[in-house]
Amino acid sequence: MFDVLMQTYHRLPVSFVYGNGALLTGNDGREYLDFTSGIAVNCLGHNHPELVAAIQEQAAKLIHVSNYYQSDISGLFAGRLALLSGMRRVFFCNSGAEANEGAIKIARKYSFKKYGNGRHKIITLKGSFHGRTVTTLAATGQERFHTNFGPFTEGFTYIPPNDIRALEEALDGSVAGFFVEPVQCESGVNPLSDVYLKRAAELCEEQDVLFMVDEVQTGMGRTGKFFCCSHAGVKPDIATLAKGLAGGIPAGAVLAGEKTCDVLEPGDHGSTFGGNALAAAAGNVVLQKLNSEGFMAEIAALGNHLINRLKELDNEKITQIRGRGLIAACDIKVDAWPVLERLLGSLGPGGRGLLLLSAGQKTLRFLPPYIISREQIDEGIAHLDKALKTTA
């Protein structure tokens, strides 16, 4: 039945029918420990009772109307998001790529209205990933994603990460915005230094270049703070969110600070499904959890436990470990894909498999849900250790 789907994914040979917490059950009845969260989407795990109840209740009332009308629950979602993030205004959409497109449009209009033509470039970083649309591919600083899909939207410049001199040289008067992921996730989970982010924000402020952060994978508390860039003590002019924003219901958002909150006007931008009532109901639950006392501090503590357990392994196939909060990676000496396949096997306690992600040919990526236990982290790391030792 899967042969009618376009072959855009290299899928592992397992199909899931049920989830609970950090566990998934396959159609063969076997359980799998989920260290992927649907690529950082299912941040509250699977079948979270409050999230399920909110979705069911809202679906029985109203799923979607359109943005030509007001919606109390969507307004509540926007207000909570602005309050928790410290940003001024919110635009809702459906995905990270769509959010990033919106951010780019805001930056270009801000610059055009203030400075006129010729100041439209967006600087991004080599190794970055901002989406798979034609424009967000243009923003992505990895050539492997560009092959076969040009020509692209023009006006993007790529510079090396963590290189302030390169940023200083690129800010030549033609730049509207500097767009960065605080952790470059898709190219191997490579965190930018806090010193770099802080100085970059200062340079942008000095030249009235918008400091823009792509928090699609790193935001929503995944690193122990609502925005990952907050670890550096910086506040963006524009931020983008998606992934875990609504705990599994498709949702994305562009958040604008004081400088950019009034750039877009009626008719400038839109999204048919953005901010629909169902996504808002789910998102409100996620935001309530993130805002509860100690919740994000526990994410940071779980992340430290994950990193420490990886570092304690005596496994010669692991060459480097890095991460922040509940996003981590380890580089390995063997190809990642055979390891992912081997982890589906029953090496773990109780015959459970383990779900991990890759982030490059020889990098494993960890994105467990926020509700995972320390015991489940220990179980997963023990399973990984066995799988690596038995993979050629």
pLDDT digits (tens, 9 = 90+) for 21-34: 999 999 989 999 99
The yes-or-no answer on residue 208 being catalytic is: no
Catalytic residue among 35, 77, 179, 214: 214
Whether 1 has a pLDDT exceeding 70, the answer reads no
Q: What is the pLDDT of residues 134-180, one digit of tens each?
A: 999 999 999 998 999 989 999 999 999 999 999 999 999 999 999 99
The contacts of residue 29 (CB under 8 Å, 6+ apart) are: none
Q: Is there a catalytic annotation at residue 178?
A: no
In what helix (H) or strand (E) does residue 122 lie, and over which residues does it extend?
strand 121-125
Answer for the pair 219, 227: CB distance below 8 angstroms, yes or no: yes
- What pLDDT does residue 346 have? 66
Question: What rounded mean pLDDT belongs to the chain?
Answer: 96
Active-site residue, from 243, 273, 331, 362: 243
Active-site residue (options: 35, 129, 145, 226): 129
Q: Establish whether 243 is a catalytic residue.
A: yes
Per-residue pLDDT, averaged over 332-359, amounts to 88
Query: CATH 3.40.640.10 occupies which residues in the chain?
Result: 50-291
pLDDT digits (tens, 9 = 90+) for 34-71: 999 999 999 999 999 999 999 999 999 999 999 999 99
Q: Measuring CA to CA, which residue among 136, 127, 143, 129 is closest to residue 100?
A: 136
Classified by CATH at the fold level, domain 50-291 comes out as Aspartate Aminotransferase; domain 2 (3.40.640)
Q: Is 49 exposed, middle or buried (0-12, 13-18, 19+ CB in 10 A)?
A: exposed
Q: Rounded distance, CA 335 to CA 378, Å?
A: 23
Q: Which residue has the tokens 């928790």?
A: 84
The predicted-structure confidence for 290-308, as pLDDT tens digits, reads as follows 999 999 999 999 999 999 9
Its pTM stands at 0.96
Query: How far apart are alpha carbons 166 and 168 in whole angstroms?
Result: 5
pLDDT higher than 90, residue 96: yes
